[in-house]
A and B are shown apart, each in its own frame.
Chain A
């Protein structure tokens, strides 16, 4: 199961011009590629979440620049890139009583992918696999 757990980096950021550029620039300078990405905002601050190809390197780089960085375990579910694709996954999770804390999606060359942070990652993996869903392996990103 561990091979499905992906280390997402989460970065605390003040909500003001230039903060995302500072994060992105730091990753570029270290030749780190961003594979998926989202911003969650509250009033005055936000959390930048990203899947990158070199998470440890990204964590150290941003941490050394003074950013507040954390690793968060997420999973990536493949979706069929046509109507109903999201429903299939959401239904499996709902029936399995898995709560989604947050999620974001991207639609890339190899199809659509849903990134999920859930309350119980082990049972989410189990429920998805048993429900006929397919999960991306860590190695696909990192």
Chain B
């Protein structure tokens, strides 16, 4: 079996890799300065010219990009490829109503797919494996991303997408899936449903690998999954802005390899923006070195983690990023979908029957995340008919679902009963343990 997908790149000596990254950065910055009005203006404002980038370390002179830049330039004003050159769109929910659109050129898809091909090979998958892709297919990047990556390495793809769990388990048995790609909580759910069906994932299936991501999880959960289901569980990382799921742990299970030819990682102090040395925890900032349609330069994703830049025991020279330990903002991840409290606020503003106060309570029902939003019924909207109140509740649930792309329970509470905040609101109670 192939041990390394692209040895020339993956085992490139660290000094050569840095030189290659510098070369890519330099041409990226020249390209954007010349062809991206958005980035040209940003660089002018920051008083930096492409000629000022004389080393890889000079990347810190470039201005940051934020999620709000994508939102403010909805849908495609920040793209640096014309629509004719795009071969695909993916769309994720935005922070306040407007979604984020990601466009891909053929090269962007190729690089995304190569990144996942390297990743899947690095966790001991390849030709002969049956990879069940249980991430959602469609506008969400998880399903199609893993699908292309798995096909590229010659594995057999079983594109089950998410849901219909009993059928997933039957197919896993009948077609002898050896790997599954999904969120860790969905895999736990599959394990529970299988047990109810009298199926032991450990003993009655061929499953040996889990490619798990799109939400934070812990070493404790890894131990539980590996022990219970009899598989090796690997953490995979990505967001739609980067292309989708991109970077995965190797068999060493010690942080995910960020391919240096595709991305440059910085870890910064979130308060001061100062660079932190390897091993220290801070905010991860990513620059995508080869993206064509949607450039991502010093993008502040908001995840907190640390970087390990020594050569990995697997032989790969590319840096590893440790598990995400937190967020710099209040983003929640519910069943793999990113949810910002600001989106809920935005959706509720359009519903006159409820006040502007709300609370979000996140919990786990079995293995699956459960999100409940408490809202106050306004005095004007109060009807003494239960059916009217129920239809207000359904309307709110429907509105939240279509804004967030995830099912939300709504609880109507008495006016004045929700906490009021002076200063920074703390509207989330997260009772999940990872």
Q: Are both chains from one complex?
A: yes
Interface size class of A (residues with CB under 8 A): 20 to 34
Of A42, A66, A102, the residue contacting B415 (CB under 8 A) is A66
Min C-beta distance of B154 to chain A, whole Å: 51
Query: Are B413 and A14 in contact, with the CB atoms below 8 A?
Result: yes
Please report which residues of chain B, range 402-418, place their CB below 8 angstroms from some CB of chain A when the two chains form the complex: 411-417
Query: Are A42 and B414 in contact, with the CB atoms below 8 A?
Result: no
A29 at interface by CB-CB < 8 Å: no
Query: Are B412 and A44 in contact, with the CB atoms below 8 A?
Result: yes
Query: Are A10 and B384 in contact, with the CB atoms below 8 A?
Result: yes
Min C-beta distance of B393 to chain A, whole Å: 8
A35 at interface by CB-CB < 8 Å: no
Min C-beta distance of A33 to chain B, whole Å: 20
Of A47, A67, A117, the residue contacting B389 (CB under 8 A) is A47
B383 at interface by CB-CB < 8 Å: yes
B87 at interface by CB-CB < 8 Å: no
Of B379, B386, B413, B416, the residue contacting A47 (CB under 8 A) is B386
Distance of A46 Cα from B203 Cα, bound (Å): 49
Min C-beta distance of A15 to chain B, whole Å: 10
Please name all residues of chain B whose beta carbon is closer than 8 Å to the beta carbon of A13 when the two chains form the complex: 414
| CB contact under 8 A between A42 and B386, given known A66-B414, A66-B415 | yes
Please name all residues of chain B whose beta carbon is closer than 8 Å to the beta carbon of A70 when the two chains form the complex: 382-384
B167 at interface by CB-CB < 8 Å: no
A37 at interface by CB-CB < 8 Å: no
Q: Which residue of A lies closest to B381 (CB)?
A: A68
Min C-beta distance of B383 to chain A, whole Å: 7
Please name all residues of chain A whose beta carbon is closer than 8 Å to the beta carbon of B384 when the two chains form the complex: 8, 10, 47, 49, 70, 72, 117
Interface of B is mostly: loop
Distance of A101 Cα from B385 Cα, bound (Å): 8
Please name all residues of chain B whose beta carbon is closer than 8 Å to the beta carbon of A14 when the two chains form the complex: 413-414, 417
Please name all residues of chain A whose beta carbon is closer than 8 Å to the beta carbon of B390 when the two chains form the complex: 42
Q: Which residue of B lies closest to A74 (CB)?
A: B384
Distance of A75 Cα from B331 Cα, bound (Å): 52
For B377, B385, B390, B416, which residue has the most chain A Cβ atoms within 10 angstroms? Answer: B385
Contact with A along B417-431 (1 / 0, CB 8 A): 100000000000000
Please name all residues of chain B whose beta carbon is closer than 8 Å to the beta carbon of A10 when the two chains form the complex: 382, 384
Q: Which residue of B lies closest to A41 (CB)?
A: B386
Min C-beta distance of B232 to chain A, whole Å: 42
| CB contact under 8 A between A67 and B414, given known A42-B389, A42-B390, A45-B389 | yes
Min C-beta distance of B353 to chain A, whole Å: 11
Q: Which residue of B lies closest to A10 (CB)?
A: B384
Of B379, B385, B386, B411, the residue contacting A68 (CB under 8 A) is B379
Query: Are B415 and A45 in contact, with the CB atoms below 8 A?
Result: no
Contact with B along A1-38 (1 / 0, CB 8 A): 00000001010111000010000000000000000000
Please name all residues of chain B whose beta carbon is closer than 8 Å to the beta carbon of A8 when the two chains form the complex: 384
Query: Are B414 and A12 in contact, with the CB atoms below 8 A?
Result: yes
Contact with B along A64-102 (1 / 0, CB 8 A): 001111101000000000000000000000000000011
Contact with B along A52-73 (1 / 0, CB 8 A): 0000000000010011111010
Min C-beta distance of A93 to chain B, whole Å: 18
Please name all residues of chain B whose beta carbon is closer than 8 Å to the beta carbon of A102 when the two chains form the complex: 385
A129 at interface by CB-CB < 8 Å: no
Please name all residues of chain B whose beta carbon is closer than 8 Å to the beta carbon of A19 when the two chains form the complex: 414
Min C-beta distance of B240 to chain A, whole Å: 35
Q: Which residue of B lies closest to A71 (CB)?
A: B384
B residues apposed to A, CB below 8 Å? 377, 379, 382-386, 389-390, 411-417
Q: List 18 A-B contacts (CB under 8 A).
A: A8-B384, A12-B414, A14-B413, A42-B386, A42-B389, A45-B412, A47-B385, A47-B389, A49-B384, A66-B414, A68-B377, A68-B379, A68-B382, A68-B415, A69-B379, A70-B384, A101-B385, A102-B385
A sample of 15 more A-B contacts (CB under 8 A), given A12-B415, A47-B385, is: A12-B382, A12-B389, A13-B414, A14-B413, A19-B414, A41-B386, A44-B412, A45-B389, A47-B386, A47-B389, A66-B414, A68-B415, A69-B379, A69-B382, A117-B384
Closest 5 CB pairs of A and B: A10-B384, A66-B416, A68-B382, A72-B384, A44-B411
